[in-house]
Amino acid sequence: MFLAAWAALLIAAEFPSPAAAIETEWVMYRDPILKTAPIETRFPPKLVDCWLEALAMPGREMKRGAAAAIAEAQRRGLPGLDAAVAPLMEVLKDSQEDRIVRLTAARALVALDARRAAPLLLQCAGPADLDMAEVAEPALARWAYAPMRERWLERLEGAVGFSRLHVLAIRGLAALDAKESTPRLLQLAEDRFVPVSVRLEAAGGLGKLQDSGLAAAARKLARDKSAQAVADRLVAARMLAGHRQPEAESLLVELAVDKQPSVRAIALETLLAINPSLIFPILQETLACGDANVRQSGAKAIVARPSPESLASLRPMLDDRHPGVRRYACESLLALAGDASLRETVLAEGRRMLHADGWRGQEQAALLLVALGDKTITDRLLALLDASRPEVHVAAAWGLCQLAVPSTAEPIFGVLARKTESCLAGQPLQERLDEQLALLAQAIGRMRYSPADAVLRKYIPKGSPLGETSRAAALWTLGHLHAGQPDEALAVALGQRLLDLFAVEPESELVGRMAAVSLGRMKAAQMLPTLRSVFKNLTLDCGAGYACAWAIWQLTGEEIPPLAPRIVMENGWFLTPIVESANEAASGALQEGKPPK
C-alpha cells in the first residue's frame, strides 16, 4: 500500500491532470450578457510599515506574526514587500532568536523569492534542524545555488539517517545537474536496506542525470516479479526515464505490463515521453487495466499517435468509470476532430457510443457530438430525455438546446409539457429535473416555438412546485416568444415577479432577473415605472438590477450607467494599522480648536 501511494504521488507530481470537461454554457446567461462589476482588490494602507516595525520589536509573537503575515501577503499579491527582505534576514541571522521565529522568517524569505538570502539560508540549513532544511533546501535547489553542491554531495555519501535529508540532497543535486553523484545514486537505488523513499528518489535522480548505461542495472532489479520486489521494479522503471536505447525501451515495455499498477503507470509515462508508439503492442492490455492512471496512459498514447484505426480503441474510454479518464477521452476526441482526416472517424465513434448502453459514454458522447455541431443525433437525444440517469437526460437537453434544430421543437415541447404537468400534480420528481426543464425551455426560446406559450406561463406564479431555474428559463423564453410584441397580461405578471423581490417571502433573484429581461425584450413600455422603481432599490452590480437597467435601455434608449469597480478589501491581517477616517480627523481638529483639513 505504501509503495502504491508513493508511486501515485510521484506520477501526480510529474504529469498534468486531464483537460477540463467541455463547457456546457446556457444561452439564457449570454442573451443578453448582463455585466458584473470588475473586482478591485485593495489592502489596508501601511501594512508593510506595520510589519517592519513588528520585526524590529522584542518579543517572539510580534516577529513570528509579522513574518507569517509577510509570507501570506506575498501569496495574495501585496506590493512593496521587497522592503521586508533585509529585516527578515536580520531576524534569521540572529542565533539567539527563538527557533520558531527564525523558521517563520526563513519561510517568508523563500515566499519572497529572496535569492540574496541564499548564503544565509545555506548557513541555517543543515542536519541539525530538519524543519529549517525542509524550508531552505528546496528553495536553494530551485535557485540552483551552487555552494550547496558540496554539502549535498557530502550528505549523499554518508549513511542514511533521516530519509528526508537524503531526499532533499538528491533533489538538490539533480537540480544542479551534478552528474558526479550518479555512482552513489545507483548504490542507493540498488540497496534493498535503504528506505524506499530514498531508493525511489535516487532512481528519479538517475533518470534526470543519466541518459544511458543503466539498462543492465535496471534489468537486474526488474528480474524478481514477486510482490516482495515491487520496490525494485519501481526503481528500475524510474531510473530509465532519460534513456532512449532499445534495451531500455524493451525493459520499459516489459514493466508496462507488470502485475503492479504502480510499476505499470511509471513505465508507461516514461514510454510516452520516449515514443508513444511503443505502447501500441500492449495497448489493449493497458486500456483494460483496473488502474485509472494506467488506462489514461493508454489513451494518451492514442492521442499522441492518432489514426482512424486507433480511435476505435479510444471510443470505449468515453464510458470509463473514472471521470478524469472519460473527460480526457472526450476532450481529446474533440481536439482530434480538428484534423480533417480524423473528423468523420471521431463523429462515427461518438455516434456509436451515444447509441450504446453505458450512461457515462452516453453523456460524454452527447457533449462531444454537440460540441462538433452534429445535427444527425437529435432523434437519439430526444429519446435520452427520459433516461434514468440525470447526467444523461440533462446532457441530452443541453445538446438539443445547443443544436436548436427546428424539427425538434414540437417533440421537445411535448416532453416539457408532460413533465411540467407531472411536477404540478406533485408526482415524484426525476433527479435534476429542474435543470432539464430549464434547458428544454431555453431550446423552445431559441426556436421561437409559440405553441409553448400557455405551458410556459404556468412557470410564472411564485411558490409553485416548479424549480427556480426552470421558472427563470421559462420567463426568459416568454420574452423571446413575444419579442417586440407586448402582451399586457404577461407584462403585468412579469412586473409582479420583479416587485416580489422585496416581498416578505422574496422572489428568486434569478426569476426577477429574467422577468426584467423579458419586459425589455417585449418592449412592454407600460412596465417602465415598475422597472425604474425596482432599479432604484437595487444596485447595478446585482443581476436583477443590471437586468432592469438593460430593460430600461431597450425601452427608452437610456444608456446603462458604467459599472464602478467593486472594492474588495483584503482584511484580517496580523497587526492591521488603524486608519483615522476623515470625520474622525475633523472632529479631533475641532476639539483642539483647529480648523479641519
- Any idea which residue has 417571502 for its cell? 505
Q: Which three cell numbers stand for residue 597?
A: 483639513
- Say if residue 595's pLDDT is above 60: no
pLDDT for res 22 = 77
Span 553-579, mean pLDDT? Answer: 90
Span 209-234, mean pLDDT? Answer: 96
Q: Where are the beta strands (DSSP E) in 248-378?
A: none
Q: What is the pLDDT of residues 6-36, one digit of tens each?
A: 444 444 433 344 444 577 899 999 999 999 8
pLDDT > 70: percent of the chain = 93
Query: Residues 180-205, buried b or exposed e (16+ Cβ, 10 A)?
Result: ebbebbbebbbeeebbbebbbbbbbb
Please state the φ and ψ torsions of residue 307, each to the nearest 5 degrees.
-155, 160
Full 3-state SS string of 61-104: HHHHHHHHHHHHHHHCCCCCHHHHHHHHHHHHHCCCCCHHHHHH
pLDDT band at 594 (very low <50, low <70, confident <90, very high): very low
SS3 129: strand
pLDDT for res 11 = 43
DSSP-derived secondary structure for 213-261: S-HHHHHHHHT--SGGGHHHHHHHHHHTTT--SHHHHHHHHHHTT-SSH
Cα–Cα distances (Å) from 481 to 409, 455, 530, 552, 555, in that order, read 13, 12, 22, 19, 17
By the 8 A CB rule, do 415 and 385 touch? yes
- CA-based torsion, 453, 454, 456, 461: positive or negative: positive
Beta bridge partners of 568: 41
Q: Which of 420, 424, 361 is nearest to 387 (CA)?
A: 361
Q: Which three cell numbers stand for residue 315?
A: 471510443
Q: What is the pLDDT of residues 518-546, one digit of tens each?
A: 999 999 999 999 999 999 999 898 999 99
Q: What is the pLDDT of residues 257-293, one digit of tens each?
A: 999 999 999 999 999 999 999 999 999 999 999 999 9
Cα–Cα distances (Å) from 115 to 92, 103, 108, 145, 588, in that order, read 14, 17, 12, 9, 46
Q: What is the pLDDT of residues 395-440, one digit of tens each?
A: 999 999 999 999 999 999 999 999 999 999 999 888 999 999 999 9
Q: What is the pLDDT of residues 223-268, one digit of tens each?
A: 999 999 999 999 999 999 999 999 999 999 999 999 999 999 999 9
Q: How far apart are CA 226 and CA 532, in angstroms?
A: 78
Q: How far apart are CA 575 and CA 79, in angstroms?
A: 17
SS3 39: strand
Q: How far apart are CA 273 and CA 285, in angstroms?
A: 19
- Say if residue 62's pLDDT is above 90: yes
Span 348-358, mean pLDDT? Answer: 98
Kindly report the average pLDDT of the chain as a whole number.
92
Q: How far apart are the first and last CA of the chain?
A: 71
- Any idea which residue has 433516461 for its cell? 387
SS3 281: helix
SS3 432: coil
- Say if residue 127's pLDDT is above 90: no
Q: Which three cell numbers stand for residue 569?
A: 478589501
Q: Max Cα separation, the chain?
A: 93
pLDDT for res 429 = 84
Q: Which of 407, 335, 423 is nearest to 375 (CA)?
A: 407
